[in-house]
Amino acid sequence: MKIRFAAMDYRSDDSFESADYQFEGSLETGWKISRNGKEYLHLGPGYKLLKSKLCGVCSTDLSRRFLPFPLPQVIGHEVIAEDLETTDGIKKKYVVEINDTFEARGDQLMDEFCEEGIHTHSPERKVLGIDRLPGGFGPYILAPQNAAIPFTNLPDKTAVLIEPFAASLQAVIASPPKKGDNVAVLGPRRLGSLVIAALAAYRASSKIDFKISALARHDHLLSLSLNLGADEAIDLRKTSLESLANRFAIVYDTTSTTSGFESAIRLSNRELHLKTTNGQEVFGVKKLTELVVDELSLLQFSDENLTFHWEKENRANQTVYVAPSVGKISLPSHFKVYYGSIEEAEKILTSPNFKGHVPRFDLGIAGTAEEIDLLIRPNFHHENSLIRPRSAILFKGESKKNSLLEFLNSGKSIRTSRCGDFYLAIQLLQENAKVTEALEKNMITHSYSPENLSQAFKTAHSPKAIKVVITHA
């Protein structure tokens, strides 16, 4: 099959420019992608050609030029797409999971990350509309066949939110409220409002009774939060942070600001869930964005936290790297403990000890803010952590009047999350008609054609916009 079309490329200067694309190939043989008559990308088998229908604009799109992936590119990853041809008079519709991995393509070959159930962290992956693979702001996409998930019984205005809703639900699953908790969402706009909806849906389905609070400074966001399921909306123009200190068991920080993170540290009495960042240093830690990308947690060093893993993972920690400032420590005998410099730790991960396994330590122990950074990204030449995704860095050191380190040393934790389970998100929305209807009625505030992407981005930057979508003819 061969298809030609024009699409708007996003450029490194935050502008758009029309480009001519051609997709040639098939699901069985693979695809050759050309841009302006030159080869752009070659894909192997396992990609399904779909027509874009709707695509949401998110904060990642607005900051795409700051990510370490090549430009120009057709971006957009919150996609509803459909088959080109009808079956029994109907075109099947799909929501598309963004990670292009061995598993998503249906390859027989798997890497260690896929084999251990963390395929979304595979270093071999491409990402729809973010890393190389053309995205949903174009009229056609090539979706890994297992990433194209059919849906029914959801309105399009809700389905186009599945990707960010699933990511929001992942935050709730990674940091689940307990009975009697009061939890807060800080910054309930694009993503934060979906975290509120995810909390409301989770509460209804799990039957766990907890209170949802929204913290914002704009009237329309306070109203939106209540419409999506918050029990109270606290106006931070009228209520001081000091009066709210330590009130909330969990604070979900969706502000993408350093000031938001600093506030969340003060507000939480048990856990801070960091959902988005802006790449800036906070409390001496520079790699918080990468912490979120790898879905790592920061915890106090303790015997209990040595057993940390995500709830659905069926594994036990076996390997531990201890950073230099911590010195020699006593750990249970079943752990294989590694010492040495950061450079030596990288070499250990390439040794025969890790052959056939995810080349990361199960846990890391750090004694300073600088070592936390180095365990997250030990080498500026690559994006590999020393610690396996969805695991933890345990802090064993002095706080030295650093609020983040004081937070950890008081026994509190910082959790992060990224992508979520589309099937679970769809199921939860189908179980909760009230939440589905609230999303449909309240989230999408603006719609543009793909030719007007520049204006769509300008509107999305405006504080009055909630969700902007691109609608394809």
For residue 211, is pLDDT > 80? yes
DSSP letter string, 117-178 = T-GGG-TT-EETTTBSS--TTSSEEEEEGGGEEE--SS-HHHHTTHHHHHHHHHHHHHSPPP
Mark whether 325 and 249 lie in a shared domain. no
Q: Determine the pLDDT at residue 147.
A: 96
- Residue 283 pLDDT > 90, yes or no? yes
Establish if 46 belongs to a structural domain: yes
Asked whether the predicted pLDDT for residue 156 surpasses 80, the reply is: yes
459, 343: one domain: no
pLDDT value at residue 315: 86
Question: pLDDT digit string (tens) for 361-419?
Answer: 999 999 999 999 999 999 988 889 999 999 999 999 999 999 999 999 999 999 999 88
Say if 286 falls within a structural domain: no
The secondary structure of residue 217, as a DSSP letter, is S
What secondary structure letter does DSSP report for 462? S
* Residue 300 falls inside a structural domain: yes
Distance CA 326, CA 35 (A): 52
Domain of residue 54, CATH code:
3.90.180.10
Average pLDDT, the chain: 94
Query: Which residues form the domain of 381?
Result: 295-412
216-262 confidence digits (pLDDT tens) = 999 999 999 999 999 999 999 999 999 999 999 999 999 989 999 99
Q: What is the CATH number of the domain that holds 197?
A: 3.40.50.720
The verdict on 74 and 115 lying in the same domain is yes
What average pLDDT does the segment 112-120 reach? 86
Question: How many folded domains does the chain comprise?
Answer: 3
Whether residue 259 sits in one domain with residue 219:
yes
Confidence of residue 18 (pLDDT cuts 50, 70, 90): very high
For residues 309 and 171, state if they share a domain.
no
Flag whether pLDDT at 89 surpasses 90: no
> Domain check: are 219 and 313 in the same one?
no
Number of H helices, E strands in the chain: 16, 24
